[in-house]
Amino acid sequence: MKTLQVELEDRSYPIHIGEGLLDRPELVMPHVHGKQVMIVTNETIAPLYLDKALHLFQDYETATVILPDGEEYKNLETLNRVFTALLEKHFNRRCTLVALGGGVIGDITGFAAASYQRGVNFIQIPTTLLAQVDSSVGGKTGVNHPLGKNMIGAFHQPQCVLADTRTLNTLDDRQLSAGIAEVIKYGLINDPGFFTWLETNMPALLQRKPEALAYAVERSCADKAAVVAADEREAGMRALLNLGHTFGHAIETASGYGNWLHGEGVACGMFMAATLSCHQGWIDAAQLQRIKALIQQAGLPVLPPASMSLAQFLDIMAVDKKNIDKKIRLILMKDLGQCFISDNYDHALLQQTIEEMLTASQQA
Ligand code: NAD
Ligand code: GLY
């Protein structure tokens, strides 16, 4: 097992990463302060891991809430089901919520914890690669609105993250690839050595070799923990973690939540951001080709849905949380592994990039 620490003064917490951690109650017990534990999961994960989770918290008064599965349920209505379960069971302010699942369950549970009785403790037990490398760390919580993804939420850090890499064995290939998109993201943002490691080790990751998966989770979490420690509330550099997300959220929103996976939108969005950076002359064609090859090797898309239009992209991108004064702010790159945030790019080139990619998609 490896343990990393997210350094946030009195809100610091450990990320435990390893095989079989769902059998280690001693790792979570120090982080449960009251007697009541509510495990929030969904109907896919419950048959796989709920018994183990209940065993982890067997010394407490446990209850469970099992939500429907899917990004389309990451909304206020589903969140309210968690509040109802907590109130029906008379959970008090010293209760602990446990998110057992992927990013959807983590984001909903975290937001429930942020707002139930003005804030209670929670523990993340991420079971997808995407959740283990990204969404369980850093305290961003929330739900979608029909007009925009993740538009309702709060920053609320967990007490601990328990990433049992063995849970990744039951994940289907498409979901594994979606998680790899966020792993590639860290290489592109500011870890060129990791990008190179991924170019060599992508086959091992896709074959779920335990050492490769463990290394990818550890290095991703270390990269993310460093950014979160430096800028918890996204006043500056944390925005870099949104590489590809502005394009990706537009794709997710336009195609209906759940049709494109979050990681697939991010993968395509990273390639769109890289293409715009290339059009600007900030990266060269060979670098762009390496990025495209790695994304495709991971089984991820590089072209947006053919059914989308330029106007749709621009309309949805205009409501992104990073925007200031109506300018679409994007994460772009000036080298492989060197991203920056900017609204100082040529807007005509942005339009050209989107149009080019839509045309390529329509012709594919
Ligand atoms: P997800 O939570 O929908 O999980 C993907 C699918 O895998 C679901 O059907 C789920 O039931 C299933 N599943 C989960 N664990 C499994 C397992 N071990 N075995 C078999 N099936 C399993 O999707 P995701 O990719 O984990 O997360 C995407 C969400 O995370 C999006 O809503 C995105 O906005 C959010 N996100 C949040 C942050 C953040 O910082 N808070 C960061 C990145 C993404
Ligand atoms: N996934 C983006 C962030 O945590 O800031």
pLDDT of residue 2: 96
Q: Pick the atom of ligand 2 nearest to 227's CA.
A: 5
- Reported as a single tens digit per residue, the pLDDT across 107-126 is 999 999 999 999 999 999 99
- Reported as a single tens digit per residue, the pLDDT across 155-185 is 999 999 999 999 999 999 999 999 999 999 9
Which residue among 140, 220, 221, 246 is best mutated to probe the pocket of ligand 2, counting the most ligand atoms within 8 A of its Cβ?
140
pLDDT of residue 146: 86
pTM: 0.96
pLDDT of residue 61: 98
Distance CA 274, CA 334 (A): 9
With CA atoms as reference, report the closest residue to 126 among 86, 75, 85, 160: 160
Whether ligand 2 lies within 6 angstroms of the CB of 6 is answered as no
Distance CA 279, CA 91 (A): 55
Domains of the chain by residue range: 2-170, 173-363
Residues having CB closer than 6 A to ligand 1 are 42, 44-45, 48, 69, 71, 74, 101-105, 107, 127-128, 130-131, 134-135, 138, 140, 150, 167, 170-171, 175, 178, 262-263
- Determine the distance separating the centroid of ligand 2 and the alpha carbon of 239, expressed in angstroms: 7
For the domain made up of 2-170, give the CATH fold. Rossmann fold (3.40.50)
For the domain made up of 173-363, give the CATH fold. Dehydroquinate synthase-like, alpha domain (1.20.1090)
Distance CA 100, CA 231 (A): 26
Whether ligand 2 lies within 6 angstroms of the CB of 104 is answered as no
pLDDT of residue 303: 98
Distance CA 285, CA 273 (A): 13
Give pLDDT < 70 ranges for the chain. Answer: 322-326
Give the three-state DSSP class for 134. Answer: helix
Q: Considering every ligand atom shown, identify the ligand nearest to the alpha carbon of residue 71 and give its number.
A: 1
Distance CA 80, CA 108 (A): 10
Distance CA 155, CA 181 (A): 23
Q: Which residues are catalytic?
A: 118, 140, 182, 224, 234, 238, 242, 245, 249, 262
- Reported as a single tens digit per residue, the pLDDT across 313-332 is 999 998 877 666 668 999 99
Q: How far is CA 39 from the centre of its chain?
A: 20
- Determine the distance separating the centroid of ligand 1 and the alpha carbon of 285, expressed in angstroms: 33
Alpha helices in the chain (DSSP H): 25-28, 51-56, 76-88, 103-115, 129-130, 173-190, 192-206, 210-230, 245-254, 262-279, 285-297, 310-317, 347-363
Whether ligand 2 lies within 6 angstroms of the CB of 329 is answered as no
pLDDT of residue 325: 64
Give the three-state DSSP class for 4. Answer: strand
Distance CA 339, CA 329 (A): 13
pLDDT of residue 35: 97
Distance CA 127, CA 169 (A): 10
Assess contact for 156 and 139: CB atoms under 8 A: yes
Distance CA 356, CA 360 (A): 6
Within 13 Å of residue 268, how many CA atoms lie on the same side as its CB?
A: 24
